[in-house]
Structure 1
Amino acid sequence: MGRRFRGESQHKVDGKGRVSIPASFRRVLEASDPNWSEGANPEVVIVYGDHRRKYLECYTMQAIDEVDDKIDALPRGSMERQLLQRMFHGQSHPTNVDETGRLVLPAKLRQKIGLEGEAFFIASGDTFQIWNPETYETEEVAKTEAFLDDLPDDFDPLSFLDGAKLER
């Protein structure tokens, strides 16, 4: 696994759907694109999924290749493989970062998540997500708060790492 996305930020979306990607995110996209070279524009795959998904998930080329390898390992014709192929191959938008560090989000994708004026970016390891800022606040933050409310006040989230199995 390559470099990871870190952080969150909010950026303006213009009338043509152009939005600047955080500079640190661009560096990860560059490092994780085997075809990228100085002066070129890194590629990215935006997975928008079905009606239940309320955000856009942006995959580096390295991350999407890993997903594709896992999909290919599933039995051909299985419902699991068909579902994942539909999501990652059909309900996705391959694109690249433009010369000024922006993504152009097609109207279909902006409409799907209700994106107007501002976009909220949040890192998610080897992917990053783009949200309508209001949706992120009302749904994702609320979901996290509800989860934390069920834990003791002195709970340390780092304890989740104790059960993690490392693959190398």
Structure 2
Amino acid sequence: MFQGSQSINMDAKGRMAIPSKYRDVLTAACSGRLVVTANPYERCLNIYPEHQWRDVAATLSALPNAKKSVRRIQRLVLGNATELEMDGNGRVLLPAILREYAGLDKKLVLVGLNEKAELWSEESWNALLEEQDDDELAEELQGLTL
């Protein structure tokens, strides 16, 4: 559903327009209802179509929360999940607490990752692209050819 990277602007009220290439698809798939939440690994936001979010929420809720790390992720992701609905102009209002968490300002980048999208500040996204990754390739990726 989500593919590619798009530069977008956020207005002073915290509204951003969903790129037109996604609006019709999202209207058909979930009546324009989305869920935005904190990404637990990086300072960006995850955006899910409502039906996709239900699966993610069920998976997170089912995790045994005896470990502090599980509770942290549940609190961050489930506790910050906010339902959004596109208005007539295809805009959504991002909650202030999530804008602050991800350091979002006027210039944003929406990055499509198939079933979800990530929303980054343009500055953070550009810094991520410039990072040198000297870590050993994860075992899951070692046989991957693109």
Which of the five TM-score ranges fits, normalised by the shorter chain?
0.7 to 0.9
Whether the 8 Å CA contact 2:109–2:120 is kept in 1: the answer is yes
2:46 to 35, 57, 66: 57
Could you tell me which residue of structure 2 aligns to residue 165 of structure 1?
A: none
The CA deviation string for residues 20-68 of structure 1, in whole angstroms up to 9 with x for no partner, is: 11122223433432xx2xxxxx111111256x63111101112211112
Whether the 8 Å CA contact 2:80–2:98 is kept in 1: the answer is no
Q: Which amino acid aligns with 1:93?
A: T
Which aligned segments of 4 or more residues in structure 1 are displaced greater than 6 angstroms? 148-151
Whether the 8 Å CA contact 1:49–1:91 is kept in 2: the answer is no
The CA deviation string for residues 76-100 of structure 1, in whole angstroms up to 9 with x for no partner, is: x533664443233212221111110
In 2, Cα distance between equivalents of 1:71 and 1:63: 13
1:48 to 26, 31, 38: 38
Q: What number of residue pairs does the alignment pair up?
A: 141
- Higher Cα radius of gyration: 1
Could you tell me which residue of structure 1 aligns to residue 98 of structure 2?
A: 109
Could you tell me which residue of structure 2 aligns to residue 160 of structure 1?
A: 144
- Are 2:20 and 1:23 equivalent residues in the alignment? yes
- Are 2:70 and 1:92 equivalent residues in the alignment? no
Whether the 8 Å CA contact 1:5–1:28 is kept in 2: the answer is no
In 2, Cα distance between equivalents of 1:160 and 1:31: 33
The CA deviation string for residues 107-142 of structure 1, in whole angstroms up to 9 with x for no partner, is: 22222222222111110121101111011111x213
- Are 2:2 and 1:5 equivalent residues in the alignment? yes
Q: Which amino acid aligns with 2:10?
A: V
In 2, Cα distance between equivalents of 1:32 and 1:87: 26
Q: Relative to 1, partners in 2 of residues 1:81 and 1:117: Cα closer, same or farther, differing over 3 Å?
A: closer
Specify every segment of 5 or more residues in structure 1 that has no aligned partner in the other structure, as ranges: 37-41, 152-156, 163-168
Specify every segment of 5 or more residues in structure 2 that has no aligned partner in the other structure, as ranges: none
Residues 54-63 or 77-86, more deviating? 77-86
Q: SS where residue 116 of structure 1 aligns?
A: coil
- Which of the pair is proportionally richer in strand? 2
Using CA pairs under 8 Å that are at least 6 residues apart, name the structure with larger relative contact order, 1 or 2.
2
2:66 to 78, 94, 119: 78
